[in-house]
Structure 1
Amino acid sequence: MNTKVLFVIATGLVLSTARVSAQATDCATTASIAYEHAKVKNYASAEEPLWKVRKECPTYSLATFQFGQKLLEDKYKKAPDTEKVGLVNEMIKLWKERLQYFPAKTKIGDMHSDIGQLMYDNKMGTAESQFAEFHKAWTEDKENVSNPKNVYTYFSLLVDLHGEKKKELQQVFDLYDEVIEKIEDEESDKAKTIAELTEKEESGTALSSKEKKKLNRSNKILSNYSKVKAGINQKLGELADCKNLIPLYNGQFEGKKTDANWLKGAAGRISAKDCTDDPLFFKLVEALHKVEPSAKSAYYLGILALKDKNTTTALKYFNQSAELETKASDKGKVYFKIGEVMKKQGSFGKARSYYKKALSQRPSMGVCYLRIADMISDSANSCGNDVFSKRAVYWLAESYARKAGKVDPSLQSTASKFAANYSAKAPSKTDIFNNPGIKSVSIGCWIGETVRVPKL
């Protein structure tokens, strides 16, 4: 190769490198201008340079798409209804570009469920096309379908499509099980955080600003999921009543009687809806225990034993179920059931133990706190030494009742009423003033707890 040819190649490489370097510099400069405006929400000035970076150097930074989303969200909020659909299409285009250029930093679940929600809110496409977006999110990345509103809309669309004869009833039930499981897992996670931070705060330790934000956020998310759960159950409505469940599962039984998963779902739904008096429930439980003796079959056998008023046998099966169960929320339900049996027998100490075991598995089960509060209240006369200490028992009952509302927003109204009732029975301000030396009260018998006297 002669010197002239080498010179031409070298010159080309230098010019090419220079162009790449110039483009990189231009991208960095333009992006810097766009990002600075976007950071202070000056989207009008940020738009032109931001879209230039998006078009000419889309791989420059994930921030391009993050700020782009905020910019479009701002425009969407301010836009008249006639312009919203166009902005939604632009948002969807932006999200898909982000997935193309930053797949590792883009969550399929969030993205497609948000697309489905925007389509639904703006009446874009058919119900089937809206449902398809949610379904893709759910089946490919359920863990990251994080918006409670999206979860509700997904289920609601399926119920509506079933009403139009486009989806089977069994599909509705299957999705219901999955959705409720996800909601209960989210509730347990947030309720655990709330319980821990509330206990820390009540002990007299001040929460840091970070902890306060975490507590407020957990409360908000828990409240949203509680509303969604109630909405989903309302949407399911009569579809899951005994009059629909019994004929549906009777018709499917022969073909499904060796399918353990189907048997679990059918028996679980019939148990949840208290259709257990129907002979079908016994057939389901018997078949399930034959195909796959498990925590579920033991639990249902316990329910049947309770119906026959054979408490000893029922407790045996419930304890077997608790030992075999690996899913925390279901283990919590079994412990709660044992607690209910113990409470009914008057074994309050044992009942409390099982209610607390239930809470350790499913922290959002606020009903356990209400049950403990009720037992403590019922024991006021027998667990106090004098009038003041007997009435002080109600402070402890009030404390448990308030915990119920904190970890389960759906119980907030009920919990507040119980707490107010207990508070009215506790020592008055005059009683506290007349006993200045009493700072705390140790409560005996099965309760075995100490309650602090409120400050005047």
Structure 2
Amino acid sequence: MKKRFLALFAVALLGSGAVSAQSDDCVTMAALAYDDAKAKNYEAAYPALLKVKEKCPKYSLATYQYLERALEYKIDKASGDQKKEFIQQLIDTWKQRLELYPDKTEKGKVYSDIALPKFDNNIGSKEEQYKAFDKAFTEDKENFTSPKGLYAYFDLMVDMQDAGKRNLQDVFDIYDRVIDKIEEEENDAAEDLAPLLKKQENNEKLTSKEEKQIKYAEINLSNYAKVKEALNAKLGARADCDNLIPLYKKDFEEKKTDIAWLKNANARLSAKDCTEDPLFVKVSEALYKLEPSASAAYSLGQTAEANGNYSKALQYYNEAANLETNPSDKAKIYYRIANNYKDKGNFSQARNFYKKAVNAKPSLGSAWLQIASMYAQSANNCGDDAFTKRAVYWLAADYAARAARVDPSISGNANQAAAAYRGRAPQKSDVFQSSYNPGDAIQIGCWIGETVRIPNQ
């Protein structure tokens, strides 16, 4: 009883300014309902919160926040028609919150939240479910960040295409839209993570807030990596060259002066490396002639590379990088340039472009993994003696571990590589027998030119 009195008193104090026009009944009902909700006694809180929502809809945003939790609890326990009834109540709650508290509600998140239970419980037609997600994306893309929601948005389009209600180009359009959004979110998470990982690598103490930030960023990166994998599996053979080439070949003559169409065809053919078919050259040259864009230059670079003209390819790739404004696409170009230099043994130039790729797209863990590989390959050439040569592997392991942290989609291979590199580095007994101590810095020479610290093993 005392607890309820204190809860009532606290709510009255906190809301005194905002509820001066409210009746005493609203204050009392809300205090008791909120008390039960805070205690997670949702069976008792549910009817009380419904009453507050009905009688005092503008009393407090907390009504809607607590009612959302209570309804999610009820939905989890219910089945059949009762479950659908609770789902509809939850949707109505979100809608009313958005109507009454628009400045404190993220529209894209709410629309996505409304769409998801319809998708999960097969409420409405595929078209209706799809439109619910499309509303979230088109009206507030910034706050439509749900990994599951983004997957459902694409999944429904594929299902409609399979049913003959959409064409293949529609599928590609939504795929590109969703992938771009996921990569934006991955980059944001990786950017937040980068300085914190640097602190960890330097053995600096992290605050509890920073540790939570790392955990949150890594969870997000992992979830988005899983969604990308699922999207690509769902797209499957639809994006194979065998499907793409006939799709674009039949319209080329009609569309060869249509820049938007050429860009779309060029991007799709380029992404799937359909570069050996003459259609790819035609599309790339037509686009470059009409608009010497980044995508057109990149495609001509692919063609030159396929023909063995590597210097011409690099010329086109550099032009593409200079023209490109999309960070993820710029990273792709830099990565391709880096691979060319790496294949030719020019590791220093390759590293420069891998780092440019990561600067453009912080979640591109494969770039760090490539640098790790080059360091490992150079171990015998970049030390003064057997110990410092093997110390290069510590540096390679650090880069491989960083790749795993920023890009969960390659974490398995990256962590395996890091473990292998650590196995080749000096072990505890080697350090004991050397002139070095744990924590000492070793300057790595030759093209690497970096410092690595002996770990406290």
* TM range, smaller chain: over 0.9
- Post-superposition, which runs of at least 4 consecutive aligned residues in structure 1 deviate over 4 A? 20-23
Give 5+ residue unaligned stretches, structure 2: 1-18
| Structure with the larger RCO, 1 or 2 (CA within 8 Å, 6+ apart) | 1
Cα deviation, residue 106, structure 1: 2.8
Do residues 336 (structure 1) and 335 (structure 2) align? Answer: yes
Cα deviation, residue 40, structure 1: 2.3
Aligned to 2:195: 196
Deviates most, 30-39 or 280-289: 30-39
Aligned to 1:437: 436
Paired letter, 2:36 = H
Aligned to 2:381: 382
Cα deviation, residue 41, structure 1: 1.7
Q: CA RMSD in A?
A: 1.6
CA distance in 2, matches of 1:286, 1:189: 35
Question: SS of 2:140's equivalent?
Answer: helix
Deviations 1:185-214 (A, max 9, x none): 111111122222111112111111111111
Paired letter, 2:378 = S
Larger Rg: 1
Aligned to 2:209: 210
Deviations 1:223-248 (A, max 9, x none): 00000000000000000000100000
Whether contact under 8 Å (2:300, 2:313) holds in the other structure is yes
Cα deviation, residue 108, structure 1: 3.0
Cα deviation, residue 70, structure 1: 0.9
CA distance in 2, matches of 1:285, 1:236: 24
CA distance in 1, matches of 2:432, 2:182: 47
Deviations 1:95-147 (A, max 9, x none): 12222222333333222222222112112222222112112112222222111
CA distance in 2, matches of 1:395, 1:36: 55
Percent identity of the aligned residues?
51
CA distance in 2, matches of 1:361, 1:446: 23
CA distance in 1, matches of 2:22, 2:356: 62
Cα deviation, residue 304, structure 1: 1.4
Cα deviation, residue 275, structure 1: 0.8
Aligned to 2:100: 101
CA distance in 2, matches of 1:141, 1:254: 37
Matches within 5 A, 1:306-455: 306-438=305-437, 439-455=440-456
Aligned to 1:222: 221
CA distance in 1, matches of 2:449, 2:390: 15
Aligned to 1:279: 278
CA distance in 2, matches of 1:281, 1:389: 49
Question: SS of 1:451's equivalent?
Answer: strand
Aligned to 1:7: none
CA distance in 1, matches of 2:113, 2:32: 29
Do residues 63 (structure 1) and 65 (structure 2) align? Answer: no
Cα deviation, residue 172, structure 1: 0.4
Deviates most, 49-58 or 442-451: 49-58
Question: SS of 1:215's equivalent?
Answer: helix
Give 5+ residue unaligned stretches, structure 1: 1-19
TM-score of the pair, normalised by structure 1: 0.92
Deviates most, 37-46 or 60-69: 37-46
Aligned to 2:252: 253
Alignment coverage as a number of residue pairs: 437
CA distance in 2, matches of 1:164, 1:210: 48
CA distance in 1, matches of 2:22, 2:103: 25
Matches within 5 A, 1:78-227: 78-81=77-80, 83-227=82-226
